[in-house]
Amino acid sequence: MKGRMIVLDHLGRREAAALLVDGKLDDLLIDDDSAPRPGTIYRAVADRGMKGQGGMILKIPGGTAWLRNASGLKAGEVLLVQVTGVGEGGKAVPVTDRVLFKSRYAIVTPGAPGINVSRQIRDEEERGRLLAIAEDEMEEGPHGLILRSAAEGAPEDEIAEDISAMRDLAAKVTADAEGPPELLAEGDGPHLLAWREWSAPTVVTKPGSFEREGVLDQIDALRRAEVALGEGFMSVEATRALVAVDVNTGGDTTPAAALKANLAAARVLPRQLRLRGLGGQIVVDFASMSKGHRKQLEQSLRDSFRSDPIETSLVGWTAMGLYELSRKRERAPLAHLLGED
């Protein structure tokens, strides 16, 4: 099928959502019932600082959280925090004290007053319309508002409802900032996240849709390390320390084979990491090629990761000719969700 399609279903007991682009799996969200969802908001209590790391271990219900850049925070202080990703190997849950209330059209920003419209919306008339809606819905106070790019052209009543819901939730949560550790707001599950973050003209919700739309077969292919590139192949393997990616030319022995395989790998790498839920330190062993081709490959990598929703830093080449990336651990690894680790 051509075009974009959102498929909402379950994998066993887990809620799951898939984004298909021209029939190919482009993104995948699976609920992880063993860890707090990203976006979850807690009232936390500072426990102990980590010397040399600039962070603080916090007490949250049922465990601990890790807050980076906790300068000035003292043990025993109470604060609101929001889960930003998944803990690595059973470590403390990563959180931020910059709590946001995000929906499809609106983001409410406590402690940062002001109304802003996404820079991606360039039409001045539309920007004016959105600002007028926001000004009608937002009350004077300590909270600010950002209207997301998805708001462009959306019906006024839907935008107003979104703003109102996030405004009221922000007021309720921030008013409950004193006391022992407590869960204050659950993060969105895959179905709500799909509605919030993806757009597609077709949304399929009938039970069994993963099988009918070929999603299960494509998930099964992700169990294998090898990824066909058309121009050779690459292997994606997660270890405890890092993610190793190896690019090969296959049977092509022509002079241009290495560059072709490497460019093909650069195009699909963000999608493969996203679908497999892989983050942290990533090391790519590209097929051997002339150093003169590195700039072309680097540009291809930048173009590929520019549209990827997960924060990734392109670190660069090592002395041994490997390419390093650092990627936020925003999702649980697919192998863990499928019970393979």
Note down the domain range covering 129: 101-188
Read off the pTM.
0.91
The predicted model gives 109-127 an average pLDDT of: 95
Does 302 reside within a domain? yes
- Each residue's pLDDT tens digit, 246-262: 999 988 878 789 999 99
Does 142 reside within a domain? yes
End residue of a domain, out of 56, 80, 96: 96
The dihedrals phi and psi of 281, each to the nearest 5 degrees, come to -85, 130
Does 200 reside within a domain? no
The predicted model gives 183-203 an average pLDDT of: 96
Are residues 5 and 45 part of one domain? no
Asked whether 147 and 105 are in contact (CB, 8 A), the reply is yes
**pLDDT for the residue 9:** 98
Are residues 309 and 243 part of one domain? yes
The band of 91, judged by pLDDT with boundaries at 50, 70 and 90, is confident
Residue 209: is its pLDDT beyond 90?
Answer: yes
Does 166 reside within a domain? yes
Are residues 145 and 234 part of one domain? no
Residues 77-81: contacts with CB under 8 Å, at least 24 apart: 77/45, 77/46, 78/43, 78/44, 78/45, 78/46, 78/177, 78/178, 78/179, 79/43, 79/44, 79/46, 79/177, 80/41, 80/42, 80/43, 80/44, 80/173, 80/174, 80/177, 80/184, 81/41, 81/42, 81/44
Are residues 143 and 57 part of one domain? no
Are residues 272 and 182 part of one domain? no
**pLDDT for the residue 109:** 97
**pLDDT for the residue 341:** 57
DSSP conformational letter for 328: -
Single out the residue of 197, 131, 193 nearest to residue 163, CA to CA. Answer: 131
The predicted model gives 181-199 an average pLDDT of: 96
Residue type at 73?
Answer: L
Calculate the average pLDDT of the chain.
94
Are residues 227 and 332 part of one domain? yes
Are residues 276 and 319 part of one domain? yes
Residue 140: is its pLDDT beyond 90?
Answer: no
**pLDDT for the residue 88:** 73
Assign residue 72 the CATH number of its domain.
2.40.50
Asked whether 67 and 56 are in contact (CB, 8 A), the reply is yes
Are residues 327 and 245 part of one domain? yes
**pLDDT for the residue 49:** 81
The predicted model gives 191-210 an average pLDDT of: 96
Single out the residue of 97, 143, 144, 142 nearest to residue 117, CA to CA. Answer: 144
Instruction: Write the CB contacts of 122 (distance below 8 Å, at least 6 apart in sequence).
Output: none
Are residues 113 and 85 part of one domain? no
Assign residue 108 the CATH number of its domain.
3.30.230
**pLDDT for the residue 286:** 97
Does 130 reside within a domain? yes
Residue 14: is its pLDDT beyond 90?
Answer: yes
**pLDDT for the residue 106:** 97
The band of 89, judged by pLDDT with boundaries at 50, 70 and 90, is low
Residue 50: is its pLDDT beyond 80?
Answer: no
Give me the number of domains the chain comprises: 4
Are residues 228 and 146 part of one domain? no
**pLDDT for the residue 339:** 83
Phi-psi sector, 21: left (phi>0), alpha (psi -120 to 50), beta = beta
Pairing mode, if any, of strands 4-11 and 78-83? unpaired
Are residues 227 and 333 part of one domain? yes
The band of 69, judged by pLDDT with boundaries at 50, 70 and 90, is confident
Which stretch of 88-102, 126-140, 210-224 has the lowest confidence by average pLDDT?
88-102
Share of the chain above pLDDT 90, in %: 87
Does 15 reside within a domain? yes
88 bridge partner residues: none
Are residues 109 and 92 part of one domain? no
